[in-house]
Structure 1
Amino acid sequence: MEIGVTFCRWIDSYIFIVTAFNALTVKSKQPTPNPNGIVLDDEAAVQRFSTAITYQTISYEDRTKFDFDEFDKFITFLQESYPTVHEQLELEKINGYALVYKWTGSDSTKKPIGLASHYDVVPVLDGTEGNWEQGPFTGAIEDGIIWGRGTLDDKIGVIGILEALEKLLTEGYEPNRDMYFMFGFDEEIGGEEGAKAIAETLKARGVTFDFVLDEGGAIVENMVPGVEKPVGVVGISEKGSATVELTIEGSGGHSSQPKNHTNIGRIANAIAKLEDTQFKGDLRGPGEDLFEFVAPEMNVGMKYVFANKFIFEPIIENILLKQPASAALIRTTIAPTIFHAGEQSNVLPEKASAIINLRLMPGDSLDYVKNFIEETISDDDIKVTITGREASKVSSIDGWQFKAIQQAARNVNTEAVIAPYLMVAGSDAKHYDHVSDNTYRFLPVQITSEDLNRMHGTNEHVSIENYLNAIRFYIEIIKESNK
């Protein structure tokens, strides 16, 4: 008995020593910042961005509502505002409004790099115009803030890249590889005629990128528990998006003589089962990569847990599943969004249906999702149909490509922790997967969680400092990609 107790104590001590050693020796994955003190003509750059916001380049689901006069005016504005870019770089328009600039490098044996963005914006919801502190298309500048649609999503990317190009070209900088700058005009409705057409055109010409960088994650304050510094997340994949329809048909009848389980009740029961069951959470892939990169920057307690994930993984997963934002990083999500049934209060509907939106984890196929739903609801009379796309491929975090993005971001935002993550929303980046070895998603601005909600909402704005830092980032990433 005494030997057994001694042995258990020895095991406990050994485990503590090993886990403490792991926590104390975990190494930072952050490159040392190398600030280059890039000097910009701040006032002129801010004024050009302000003007860019005034063009109402709005995407509508109904394409007949597009006001292409505004798009034409915006393109003319770009040509007038960035004369050196338009004199020295090749510009091709695809489908009239998707813009592709090519900067020819000195070494044709190197694969090209692509920087992508989009200049269309979402509409302002009818009835909310009066809730804006500054008009959504005024480009107002007040107290160090630039206001309006596109200040974050995503004219800041288009204008930031062009500002960077204009500066580098006027300074005589020359890249050693070809560089493409690709700007979509319908990203907010899927990018079919913009980014997708760009990618298909380049693929037909045999162009393959070393990497493409599009919008995506940002540098967010108070993002990760245990990390006091802002965390910049670079999407290395984006979740798939699927629509599932549940449908049941059968006899209706008078509401005075209902069956115990009506069509509405059975669809509602199916949804309840799905919400109660959920897909299993699993800390793997890009979600796991995120915590490996931020763990060395955590406080002692959190560092101890994440440095010893092999022991604490079930606890970590349970913690992450408690919050919707973190749960979305480790499982396929289920979101019922539409329910159709019935037309009259005293008539049982003969048909009931529900629409569910799912965001798929990398590795979860559409067939797997459909089978999971059918097995979970366990009702043969409910028809399950699924449409959509699976998650994008997962890009490398070990090669120079990701490290170049990290370095460029750290050079500008020296205190930020830059880490890979799984993007839960969609972007044009998915279209470039077919023509690029790696596809990354990063918006180079430091913002709060409240700012994220303003991207498609009321009072979208960005600080002047953030906008100017975005320009600096694009200068840095161009240089880092050509070393």
Structure 2
Amino acid sequence: MKKFKWIITVTGGLLLLFVVLTLFNTFTVDSKQPSPDSTTIKINKQAAVSRFSKAITFQTISYKDRSKFDLETFQLFIDYLKESYPAVHSNLELEKVNDYALIYKWKGTNPSKKPIGLTAHYDVVPVIEGTEDNWQQKPFSGNVVEGNIWGRGTLDDKIGVIGILEATEYLINNGYSPSRDVYLMFGHDEEIGGLEGASAIVDTLKERGVTFAFVLDEGGAIVENMVPGVKKPVGVVGISEKGSATAELTIKGSGGHSSQPKDETNIGRLSAAIAKLEDRQFDADLKGPGEDLFEFVAPEMSFGMKYVFANKVIFEPIIEKILLQKPASAALIRTTIAPTIFNAGEQYNALPEEATAVINFRLMPGETLKGVKKFIRNTIDDNAIQITIEGIEASGVSETNNWQFKSIQQAARNVYENAVIAPYLMFAGSDAKHYDAISENTYRFSPVQITAEDLKRMHGTDEHISEENYINAIKFYAEVMKEANRK
């Protein structure tokens, strides 16, 4: 009996200690959000919107087949920039790389400071043939209707190019001079990899020994209802982007008539291989940028969610299980597997002699193409299936506990005072990865507050942005230049 009471006493004591420690962790989580310093920047809305509207009308479309590029239109767009931003073109040095990629250099007053770079791209994806009439406004109209600016590039990514130039023009006209050099770098082929744009810009600057304190590109935005337990909109700044690998699985064998099939056909074996990959999946692990995201948002959560995330060491298996329930959050903590193409057969009554499947993998930081190929081979366990894989590995991971990230965070808070600004892992690709070679840190942030539906429109139908968002983007770019030059 005494032993039983002792066990109860010890168990109760340990439980009490557990509760005290976890509650202590919960109540002592400090906010990582800087106090906003409300922006005083005043933008001539009508003039700025008019210039952006016109910029959308230039059909600077990227095609995988570069021979389809309408380079005359690209040049007309460059000419339009010179006409629209006279102060920028009078005060900054402009250099063209491969004729259409642009480098503007704004010379600072203190050459001992490392420069910063703001980058964006002015090429856009094509409008899918046959969907033009599905748009509420014509895809390249630039129409302004009921407070919204319509057209391809309003979100991705002429808003970055025009927003940066508007901010620079504003600062110059208001007598501002940066202390450190500021580079504005605009690619023209980001949508097909950026090899002649951003990559060539990097090669050019690398030859001159130019290195940046940070480079800021497009990326995460400010979205409501993004993080469970956080009522405020959350703005996510990409500190890394996933790698992208394309694996091709091929099996060859005898065909024959469909009336006499073998027990195992090419299609059946390849389908089984894909099923094995989807069934196994890569291991999930809340670490790196994903972990950083929750460290920044945990202090802003409701009590229940804050309790869990403030004690991540204890509840990590539960957190990972919750995150795996939705594709968007699952992609934050593991390498993803997405079969996208399957080719086999031409005749309904003939067994195909060859079957091929294409699978896209988005790689977590630290994962390698070699490791992915090994994972495929071990998982499918079928030596008859040939595997080829190509792609790019995840970018490096930039810091968050430094003045560079804090400058971006502060600038965003100055414009969007109610938003929670946090780091995250970007799933899509951007030009930012090229700048890793010449920058201490690369960040990815689109300074607009949008909905989940808006995100779907980036490469789809009815791409548009509100006038308010566009003006706020200009303010953000001006603020981030000022914040960085205070350091």
TM-score (ref. length: structure 1): 0.99
Rounded Cα–Cα distance in structure 2 between residues aligned with 1:351 and 1:431: 37
Measure how far apart 1:25 and its partner are. 1.1
Aligned to 1:374, which of 369, 374, 377? 377
Residue deviations 1:233-267 (CA, integer Å, cap 9, x gap): 00000000001011111222222221111111110
Residue deviations 1:5-60 (CA, integer Å, cap 9, x gap): 11111111110111111111100000000013211111111111111111111111
Aligned to 1:294, which of 294, 297, 300? 297
Q: Are the aligned partners of 2:39 and 2:475 in contact in 1 as well (CA < 8 Å)?
A: no
Structure 1 residues 94-103 or 377-386, which shifts more? 377-386
Structure 1 residues 336-345 or 207-216, which shifts more? 336-345
- Letter of the 1:131 partner, please give it: N
Q: Are positions 1:209 and 2:203 aligned together?
A: no
Measure how far apart 1:136 and its partner are. 1.2
Match of 2:463 in 1: 460
In the TM superposition, 1:380-399 aligns within 5 A as: 380-399=383-402
Rounded Cα–Cα distance in structure 1 between residues aligned with 2:153 and 2:178: 29
Per the alignment, in what secondary structure is the counterpart of residue 15 of structure 1? helix
Aligned to 2:90, which of 81, 87, 99? 87
- Letter of the 1:12 partner, please give it: L
Aligned to 1:276, which of 261, 272, 279? 279
In the TM superposition, 1:427-438 aligns within 5 A as: 427-438=430-441
Structure 1 residues 105-114 or 233-242, which shifts more? 105-114
Aligned to 1:306, which of 306, 309, 313? 309
Q: Are positions 1:2 and 2:5 aligned together?
A: yes
Rounded Cα–Cα distance in structure 2 between residues aligned with 1:340 and 1:137: 35
Measure how far apart 1:215 and its partner are. 0.2
Q: CA RMSD in A?
A: 0.8
Per the alignment, in what secondary structure is the counterpart of residue 261 of structure 1? coil
Q: Are positions 1:250 and 2:259 aligned together?
A: no
In the TM superposition, 1:74-473 aligns within 5 A as: 74-473=77-476
Per the alignment, in what secondary structure is the counterpart of residue 481 of structure 1? helix
- Letter of the 1:368 partner, please give it: G
Measure how far apart 1:110 and its partner are. 1.3
- Letter of the 1:211 partner, please give it: F
Structure 1 residues 425-434 or 63-72, which shifts more? 63-72
Per the alignment, in what secondary structure is the counterpart of residue 218 of structure 2? strand
Residue deviations 1:82-137 (CA, integer Å, cap 9, x gap): 00100110000111100100011111121110000001111111111111111111
- Letter of the 1:373 partner, please give it: I
Measure how far apart 1:353 and its partner are. 1.3
Rounded Cα–Cα distance in structure 2 between residues aligned with 1:462 and 1:28: 31
In the TM superposition, 1:26-45 aligns within 5 A as: 26-45=29-48
Rounded Cα–Cα distance in structure 2 between residues aligned with 1:260 and 1:399: 61
Residue deviations 1:177-222 (CA, integer Å, cap 9, x gap): 1110000011111111100100111011111111000000000111
Q: Are the aligned partners of 2:407 and 2:484 in contact in 1 as well (CA < 8 Å)?
A: yes
Per the alignment, in what secondary structure is the counterpart of residue 117 of structure 1? strand
How much identity, in percent, do the aligned residues show? 69
Rounded Cα–Cα distance in structure 2 between residues aligned with 1:125 and 1:25: 52
Per the alignment, in what secondary structure is the counterpart of residue 264 of structure 1? helix
Measure how far apart 1:384 and its partner are. 1.3
Per the alignment, in what secondary structure is the counterpart of residue 485 of structure 2? coil
- Letter of the 2:9 partner, please give it: T
Rounded Cα–Cα distance in structure 2 between residues aligned with 1:454 and 1:344: 38
Rounded Cα–Cα distance in structure 2 between residues aligned with 1:262 and 1:130: 43
Match of 2:64 in 1: 61
Measure how far apart 1:138 and its partner are. 1.1
- Letter of the 1:158 partner, please give it: V
Rounded Cα–Cα distance in structure 2 between residues aligned with 1:134 and 1:225: 35
Q: How many residues align?
A: 483
Measure how far apart 1:62 and its partner are. 1.1
Measure how far apart 1:370 and its partner are. 0.8
Rounded Cα–Cα distance in structure 2 between residues aligned with 1:34 and 1:170: 22
